[in-house]
Structure 1
């Protein structure tokens, strides 16, 4: 009786082990399929070439304006303002970043305030680009200004300046290049020497009769003419320029956050119409931190021009601007 129960128990154990073994085999098969698919996907991704956008961004080291999160985009825009990158380089400037931020509801107010504050300084940069003859770059920068504030009247003035510059460049390119022709050298005819020298017969020697030599006549010197005295012309009367409108420079945000103070010494020319031109930095401390703010503000000043004998003239001036918190 006892012997017959052992085979029955073994048969029941084998009956329980067979389903468990089948489950284990099924799990191993599924794991193998998953590992195979994962391995194929890794090799397929590794064989694909990198996308042009990613490779271009990695190669240039410049992240596009819309490739950053809002907080990082705002920090990058402030860095651009401190570095005077308001409109350039392409894709890495303050205006493009603030325009992207303005499209997001959470940062629209900050972006609007920044664009409104920076617009006049960016407009001055566009005017300088036009004066330098960089027409294509000026068009791109004008497009950024139009996206920021399409109704601003400054855009009309800048477009007129750009059209005048294009017309001047076209006229210069169409003018024929004329160079004065050198005058032909004129050679004088040379006299040919005679074949043989002419013989000259000697004259007979004659002596004049001796006669008394009269004394020389006395020479009379003319009396000196009176010299007319000419009065010296009076020196021209020059009056210096008089400042009529002064625009205070903005304080760079990076300098304000760092509690930095400094100064900039500028030289510029007051034109006969009272506008300011040729603004240049002579000295600055510290470095170039305040250069953009100082030069942009002085370009917007207006003067009563200097005069010479009542006629307006251009005159160079120096000005030091202090930045204090």
Structure 2
């Protein structure tokens, strides 16, 4: 009797346990389905996407260009649906106004305790951060700042944000340095071009000045040569004319040409004082023999001793008679110079 009661009690206990197990299994299954629908399925869709199967894969331009939607007018279910669509299209955090991050954040704004949106944001945070890093490497700094601000709304204390901001600052600094380097190179190129242009202008001016100077020098040399030739021609012409005139005059006149000649020896009187004192000397006299043979313009050029024999020499020349100078048979006046000596030996 006791054994039957014991078996019956155990059987009833087993019957009471089965409904509880079923309930627990049903709850677990429901949670699994919900996780599959709202979290796992979007992620698997991302992994199996044709564009590379990973949210960090660069998004195609057509997907990035998706137009923004009016999130304010959407319900929570609509926002979650749009978020899943965005995840499937790899619009994790871009473009602005039409990406999964903004949809999930709007869900949390409307329903702060929504676990689906919170879990999705936490799960997709690394993929979004990878997308931000790609945008930074592409140097789209404004877009990178916008995406970092979205990440900060999800987890402001996450160390990844510090790293991303550091990379953003470093890329900006690198870009500034590259731009400054390009500006410096362009400035140096401009300065070099200006210097080359200035040197070319200076060289051209120097060459032009030299060419002008050479041309002027050549013209001056040609002018001097022409003038010298003209003088030579004029001189030759004058010589030819003079020769012709001389030949013609000689041929026409045919007379004698000679200097004046004294008719008799010129014997001056020896001064008495000089004779008494035993002085000797000489006087260099200049005079003119006129066309009639007379003498005029007698003057002492030099004497030794002076003023002793001057008067005697002048008187002697005034008394002298000359045969006048002849030019082509015509008597003409001519000037002569003669040295008259006074010697005591000639007085004995």
What interval of TM-score do these two structures reach, taking the shorter chain for normalisation? 0.3 to 0.5
Considering fraction of residues, name the structure with more helix: 2
Q: Which has the larger radius of gyration?
A: 2
Structure number with higher relative contact order (C-alpha < 8 Å, ≥ 6 residues apart):
1
Give the alignment's TM-score, normalised by structure 2.
0.34
Give the alignment's TM-score, normalised by structure 1.
0.37
